[in-house]
Structure 1
Amino acid sequence: MIRLSGVSRTFTGRHGTLEALRDINLDVAEGEFVAILGRSGCGKSTLLRLIAGLLPVSAGQITVDDTPVTGARRDIAMLFQRPALLPWRSVLDNVLLPTEIFGWKRKEQRVRARQLLEMAGLAGFENRRPHELSGGMQQRVSLCRSLIGNPRVMLMDEPFSALDALTRSELAGELQRIHMDNGATVVFVTHSIDEAVLLADRVVVLSPRPGRIREMRSIDIPRPRTLGRNDHLAQVAQVSADLHELLMTKESPDPVATA
């Protein structure tokens, strides 16, 4: 579904050149949930923006469904760290925003929007304004907005990072359920090992800048997964410990990056 072939990205500015990503090769299958994990500054968010078509690659190629990515696409939805809701619009109208941008039939989408809000536990909040909601509720609205067009690909850039631990866990469980229901292909950027293990079919670990694929780890644990007491607690704990140890182990310095 998604293929990155030899993808690199370099930024050039008045302070010089910064190599953010180098030679990324990655295939994401249709319906797969892939988590991108790594330390701050390793290029995780840049990688997501390249897949979304919000940034051009410096080298290599990205394709989605065998079509080269050259800009933003309607079948790709992106969820950011902050909900980015329009404060003057109601919850329902925020969810319906993509229908106006892409010219979809609003009447048909209103039914879909209400269904999504009900699924997210927001029935009865359709006419509220964003400032009347908690941070977790706002992010649920943002998630509903990203789902309104039934996207084939969902790109998520640390969408729960600003939330408290309990709300993060709650929304991670909600996202598991949504993914199991709609089967979208998901690429999820996080710096949280627990989040990666709870959500992903596969975890891609990036090295420090310039970001390169250091390791890929399949998560063969039945869903739904939780950090609480369950039949798979030992497996979840073991995979989390392995990834923690990997991230704590420093790589040998890259001769090109440090030259």
Structure 2
Amino acid sequence: MIRLSSVSRSFTGRSGTVDAVSGIDLDVAEGEFVAVLGRSGCGKSTLLRMIAGLLPATTGEVRVSGDRVTKPRRDIAMMFQKPALLPWRSVLDNVLLPVQIFGGKKAAHRARAHELLTMTGLAGFERRLPHELSGGMQQRVALCRSLIAEPRVMLMDEPFSALDALTREELSGELQRVHMDLNTTIVFVTHSIDEAVLLADRVVVLSPRPGRIREILDVKIPRPRTLGRGAHLTEVAQCSAELHELLMA
């Protein structure tokens, strides 16, 4: 589904050239959930923006479904750290915003919007305005908005980082359920080892800048996963410890 071939990205400014990522080779299968984990400044967000077509690669190429990515595409959705909801639009109208932007009819997608809101625990909040919602609820609305056009690829740039620990874990559980139901291909950037272990099929660990792939760890823990007591508590702890050692090396 996604293929990065020898992808590098540099930025040039007054103080010279900075290499953000270097020589990235990565394949992401259809329906796979891949987390990208690394220290601040290692190029995680840069990598995501190149897959989204928001930044060109300096060298190498990015392909999605066999086509080279040169600009944003309708089949690739992106979710950022902040929900960026329009304050004057209701929850339902915020979810339907991409449909209007792409020239579709809201009525044709209204049932899908209600389905997504129900899936993420927001049934009954369709007419609320963003300021009436908690931070976690706003991010759920942003998730529904990203999924409304049924993208083949979902790119998520630390979407839960501004939330408290309990809300982050709750939303991680919601995202697990959404992914299991919809089988969307997801690339998820995070600083959090816990999020990576809870969510991913594989975790790509990047080195400090310039970001290079240090290790790719398979997470072979059955879903749904939890950080609390459960049948797979030992496996979750072992995987978290291995990622911690990789990041500290």
Instruction: State the TM-score, normalizing by the size of structure 1.
Output: 0.95
Q: Deviations over 1:46-78 (max 9, x none)?
A: 000000000011000000000000100000010
**CA displacement at 1:105 relative to structure 2:** 2.0
**2:227 is aligned with 1:218:** no
**CA displacement at 1:182 relative to structure 2:** 0.5
- Structure 1 counterpart of 2:151: 151
- Structure 2 counterpart of 1:12: 12
Alignment partners' CA distance in 2, 1:67 and 1:100 = 26
How does 1:48-87 map onto structure 2 within 5 Å? 48-87=48-87
Alignment partners' CA distance in 1, 2:246 and 2:32 = 23
- Structure 2 counterpart of 1:254: none
Q: Deviations over 1:97-125 (max 9, x none)?
A: 00011111211111111111111111111
How does 1:90-101 map onto structure 2 within 5 Å? 90-101=90-101
SS at match of 1:131: helix
Alignment partners' CA distance in 2, 1:185 and 1:109 = 21
Q: Deviations over 1:2-59 (max 9, x none)?
A: 0000000000112211110101000000010000000000000000000000001100
Alignment partners' CA distance in 2, 1:19 and 1:170 = 36
SS at match of 1:209: coil
Alignment partners' CA distance in 2, 1:73 and 1:97 = 16
SS at match of 2:83: coil
Instruction: State the TM-score, normalizing by the size of structure 2.
Output: 0.99
Report the AA paired with residue 78 of structure 1.
M
Question: Percent of counterpart pairs with the same letter?
Answer: 76
- Structure 1 counterpart of 2:248: 248
- Structure 2 counterpart of 1:184: 184
Alignment partners' CA distance in 1, 2:177 and 2:131 = 27
How does 1:121-140 map onto structure 2 within 5 Å? 121-140=121-140
Segments ≥4 residues shifted beyond 4 Å: none
SS at match of 1:160: coil
- Structure 1 counterpart of 2:203: 203
- Structure 1 counterpart of 2:163: 163
Report the AA paired with residue 126 of structure 1.
E
Alignment partners' CA distance in 2, 1:143 and 1:73 = 18
- Structure 2 counterpart of 1:114: 114
Moved more, 124-133 or 26-35: 124-133
Which runs of 5 or more residues in structure 1 are unaligned? 250-259
Alignment partners' CA distance in 1, 2:185 and 2:115 = 21
- Aligned-CA RMSD value: 0.6
Q: Deviations over 1:197-252 (max 9, x none)?
A: 01000000000000000000100111100001111000000010011011111xxx
Moved more, 100-109 or 173-182: 100-109
Alignment partners' CA distance in 1, 2:61 and 2:10 = 14
- Structure 1 counterpart of 2:39: 39
Alignment partners' CA distance in 1, 2:121 and 2:240 = 29
Alignment partners' CA distance in 1, 2:246 and 2:70 = 34
SS at match of 1:228: coil
